[in-house]
Amino acid sequence: MDSCLKLWDNILERFDSLSKRLDSLSKQTNSESEELLKILKLLDPVKYGPSTQEDQSQLILGNIEETGDDADFMTNLCTKMGCDVIPIKVQRIGRKLANRKRLLKVSFPSQFDAYAFKSKYTQMKKQDADIPFIRVRTNRSKEEQLQFKKAIKLAKKLNGEAKKAKVTCSYSVSDNGEIWKYAPNSKGKWRRVNDWVAPEVNNKSSGFK
Give domain limits for the chain. 2-139, 143-192
The pLDDT of residue 177: 86
CATH code of the domain occupying 2-139:
3.30.70.330
Instruction: Please tell me the pTM assigned to this model.
Output: 0.60
Average pLDDT, whole number, for the chain?
80
The pLDDT of residue 157: 94
Cβ atoms of 117 and 78 within 8 Å: the answer is yes
Helix ranges (H only) for 25-138 are 30-43, 45-48, 53-56, 70-81, 111-127
Mean pLDDT of 129-151: 88
State the virtual CA torsion across 63, 68, 71, 76 in degrees, nearest 10.
-70
**Distance between CA atoms of residues 188 and 199, nearest Å:** 26
pLDDT value at 121 more than 50: yes
The pLDDT of residue 17: 61
pLDDT band at 111; cut points 50, 70, 90: confident
The pLDDT of residue 174: 86
**Distance between CA atoms of residues 39 and 22, nearest Å:** 11
pLDDT value at 70 more than 70: yes
pLDDT value at 63 more than 70: yes
For 122, 152, 181, 183, 189, the CA distances from 193, given in Å and listed in that order, are 22, 18, 6, 7, 12
Q: Who has greater pLDDT, 51 or 185?
A: 185
Helix ranges (H only) for the chain are 2-24, 30-43, 45-48, 53-56, 70-81, 111-127, 142-164
Count CA within 13 A, CB hemisphere, residue 98. Answer: 0
User: Which range (7-16, 41-50, 99-108, 159-168) has the least confidence?
Assistant: 41-50
What would the pLDDT profile of 74-99 be if each residue is shown by its tens digit?
999 999 999 888 899 999 998 888 88
pLDDT value at 68 more than 90: no
Three-class secondary structure of residue 59 per DSSP = strand
Determine the number of helices (DSSP H) and then strands (DSSP E) in the chain: 7, 7
pLDDT value at 144 more than 50: yes
Parallel, antiparallel, or unpaired: how do β-strands 135-138 and 58-62 relate?
antiparallel
Mean pLDDT of 15-38: 54
